[in-house]
Amino acid sequence: MVKVEFLGPIGKAPVEMEAKTLADVAEKLKEDGTVKEWLPKCAVALNDTMVSDLNTPLKDGDKISVLPPVCGG
Protein backbone atom coordinates (compact mmCIF):
# COMPACT_ATOMS: atom_id res chain seq x y z
CA MET A 1 0.00 0.00 0.00
CA VAL A 2 1.08 3.57 -0.70
CA LYS A 3 -0.32 6.70 0.92
CA VAL A 4 -1.47 9.69 -1.13
CA GLU A 5 -1.81 13.05 0.60
CA PHE A 6 -3.41 16.20 -0.79
CA LEU A 7 -1.76 19.45 0.24
CA GLY A 8 -2.95 23.01 0.76
CA PRO A 9 -6.37 24.00 -0.56
CA ILE A 10 -7.34 20.60 -1.98
CA GLY A 11 -8.77 19.82 1.44
CA LYS A 12 -9.09 16.06 1.13
CA ALA A 13 -8.01 13.47 3.68
CA PRO A 14 -5.10 11.13 2.72
CA VAL A 15 -5.97 7.87 0.97
CA GLU A 16 -4.18 4.53 0.84
CA MET A 17 -4.07 2.38 -2.31
CA GLU A 18 -2.28 -0.47 -4.06
CA ALA A 19 0.00 0.91 -6.78
CA LYS A 20 3.18 -0.31 -8.50
CA THR A 21 3.94 2.97 -10.31
CA LEU A 22 2.78 6.58 -10.31
CA ALA A 23 0.74 5.74 -13.41
CA ASP A 24 -1.38 3.39 -11.23
CA VAL A 25 -1.88 6.25 -8.76
CA ALA A 26 -2.96 8.56 -11.59
CA GLU A 27 -5.54 6.05 -12.81
CA LYS A 28 -7.07 5.67 -9.35
CA LEU A 29 -7.11 9.39 -8.56
CA LYS A 30 -8.96 10.14 -11.81
CA GLU A 31 -11.89 8.10 -10.47
CA ASP A 32 -12.46 10.83 -7.84
CA GLY A 33 -14.30 13.73 -9.51
CA THR A 34 -13.05 16.41 -7.10
CA VAL A 35 -9.42 15.30 -7.25
CA LYS A 36 -9.52 14.82 -11.03
CA GLU A 37 -10.19 18.55 -11.50
CA TRP A 38 -7.05 19.43 -9.55
CA LEU A 39 -4.66 17.00 -11.28
CA PRO A 40 -3.78 19.04 -14.44
CA LYS A 41 -2.36 21.84 -12.27
CA CYS A 42 -0.74 19.75 -9.52
CA ALA A 43 2.88 18.70 -9.09
CA VAL A 44 3.88 15.47 -7.34
CA ALA A 45 6.41 14.49 -4.68
CA LEU A 46 7.45 10.95 -3.76
CA ASN A 47 8.70 10.69 -0.17
CA ASP A 48 9.18 14.49 -0.19
CA THR A 49 11.25 14.59 -3.41
CA MET A 50 9.66 16.13 -6.52
CA VAL A 51 9.16 13.61 -9.34
CA SER A 52 8.46 13.94 -13.07
CA ASP A 53 8.19 10.37 -14.40
CA LEU A 54 4.94 8.39 -14.37
CA ASN A 55 6.92 5.14 -14.57
CA THR A 56 8.54 5.83 -11.19
CA PRO A 57 8.26 2.50 -9.31
CA LEU A 58 6.57 2.51 -5.91
CA LYS A 59 7.09 0.30 -2.88
CA ASP A 60 5.08 -0.50 0.21
CA GLY A 61 4.88 2.49 2.57
CA ASP A 62 5.74 5.16 0.00
CA LYS A 63 4.22 8.62 0.50
CA ILE A 64 2.94 10.52 -2.54
CA SER A 65 2.10 14.20 -2.13
CA VAL A 66 -0.12 16.14 -4.53
CA LEU A 67 0.89 19.83 -4.61
CA PRO A 68 -1.58 22.38 -6.07
CA PRO A 69 -0.56 25.81 -7.50
CA VAL A 70 1.58 27.82 -5.09
CA CYS A 71 1.90 31.47 -4.07
CA GLY A 72 4.38 32.19 -1.31
CA GLY A 73 5.39 35.59 0.01
Partner 1 sequence: MELYRGPLDVKEIFGRWLDEEAESNYGAYIPFVGTIRAEDGIEALSFDIYEPVLRAWFDGWQEKAKARGAVVKMAHSIGDVPVHTSSYVSAVFSPKRRVALELIEEFVEDFKANAPIWKYDVKNGERIYAEDRSTPMDGSGLLA
Least spacing, CB of residue 60 vs partner 1, in Å: 20
Given a contact cutoff of 8 angstroms between Cβ atoms, the answer to whether 68 and 41 are in contact is yes
Of the candidates 69, 70, 2, 5, the residue with the CA atom closest to the CA atom of residue 37: 69
User: 59 or 70, CB closer to partner 1?
Assistant: 70
Least spacing, CB of residue 14 vs partner 1, in Å: 13
Interface with partner 1 (CB under 8 A), residue from 49, 59, 60, 61 = 49
Distances (CA, A) of 4 to 20, 34, 71: 13, 15, 22
User: 8 or 14, CB closer to partner 1?
Assistant: 8
